[in-house]
Amino acid sequence: MTLLNIPADFIVSSREDKIEYSFGLTVLKDDDRVKFCICDKSTSWLNPDDLFVDRIQFGYLNPIFRKKHLSREIDVKNSLDEAAASLNDKRYAKAVEVLDEIIHYDPDYAEAILAKSKALFGQGHFVKSLRHYKKAIKINESLKDNVFYGLLIKKASEEMDTFPKIKRNIYMGDEAFRKGEYESALQFYDKALVNPAKFKNKILSKLLNKKATALFKLKRYEDSLEFFNKSVEAKPNDKAYFHIGIIEYFLSMELSDEFKGPLRISKNQLIKKAGILNDVGEYQIALDCLDEYFENQFFVNDKYVLGLNLKLGILKALDKSTEEIENQIRTVRRFSDEFQ
C-alpha cells in the first residue's frame, strides 16, 4: 500500500490532478508524474516507479507522528536528489557528506549506500566503494548494476595490489571482522599496530578503535577498555567514549562523564545508552537520549517499541505524567495488529 493508493477513508478531497489526505499529505499529479507535499515541503516531480514511492509504504508511516515522519522522509529524499546532482557534477566529497547524513538517519537506505559507493568510486577509493556496493545490493537486490560491479571488482583488485603492508593488514582485519572472525581480525590489527608512531593521531585512533572493538566482541572487556582509552588519548572520539561507557557498565564501574554527555552515535546505540543510564538511575539523561532517538526514528520496529516502554518506565521513575506515552503505546499496538 504505497502513497499512491492510500485507503479512501483518509481522503479529504479528490480531483484528477490533486488528492488531499486527513494527515496533511497532498499528492499532485501531472501527466505521468507525481509530487508529494506536506508541511510546506515537497518532493520534486517523480515517476510513479521512483524508488521513493515504493519505500514509503503507507503502513510504514509512524501512526503517532505520520505527518512528521513523512515530512522527514521528504527531506531525506530531497537530500538524496542533492547528492545525485553532486555526483553528476563530480563533486564527490559533497555527495559523500550529504549521503553520510542520510545513512546516519537510516543505515539501511540502500539507494543512499549505492550512491555513496559511486561517490567513493569517483574519489578513487575502490575497495571502500566495493564494500558499500555489496551492502546496498544485500539490502535491495533490485539495485544491481552488473556493468558497474564488473568495473568495481577490477579497480578494487588493482587498488589492493598497491596497498602497503600496513594498509593490507588493516583491510584483512576489516574483512575478518565483517565475517565475525574476531580473533583473526585482532591478529591483523596487531600486525598493523607494530609501530604506532607511524600513524597520524586521527588514523591511529581509528585503528585502536578497530582493535578495541574486536576485543569487545570477544568479551575481553578489560583489554578492550584499555585500547578504547588509548584511542581517546590519540584523538577524542565518540565511538570510543560510547564503548568505554558500555564496558564500565558491564564491569560495574562508575560511568564516565563523556558517556553521560551528548555523543554522535547510531539510533540503536542511543537506545542501548538510554537503557544503561536508566539502570544506574540517571533518569533525566536517559530521557534526553530517548528524546533524541524519537526525533530521528519513525519506523516502528522492535527497537522503537522498546524505546516507548523504556520511556514509560523512566517517566514513572521521575513521577511525571505517563498519559501521552501510554496512548502512543496503545496506538502502536493497534497499528501493528492492522498492518501485520
Q: What is the pLDDT of residue 318?
A: 93
Q: Which residues of 258-274 are buried (b: 16+ CB within 10 A; e: fewer)?
A: bbbeebebebebbbbbb
Q: φ, ψ for residue 35 (rounded to 5)?
A: -140, 140
Q: What is the pLDDT of residue 7?
A: 86
- Is 69:298 a contact under the CB 8 Å cutoff? yes
Give the pTM.
Answer: 0.86
Report the sign of the C-alpha dihedral through residues 223, 233, 240, 246, in that order: positive
Which candidate, 243, 272, 278, 275, places its Cα nearest to that of 259?
243
Residues in the chain with pLDDT values less than 70: 336-340
Q: What is the pLDDT of residue 66?
A: 87
Rg for the chain (alpha carbons), in Å? 23
Q: Which amino acid, 336?
A: S
pLDDT digits (tens, 9 = 90+) for 311-325: 999 999 999 999 999
pLDDT digits (tens, 9 = 90+) for 120-162: 999 999 999 999 999 999 999 999 999 999 999 999 999 999 9
- Is 265:242 a contact under the CB 8 Å cutoff? yes
Q: Which residue has the cell 542501548?
A: 272
Q: What is the pLDDT of residue 63?
A: 85
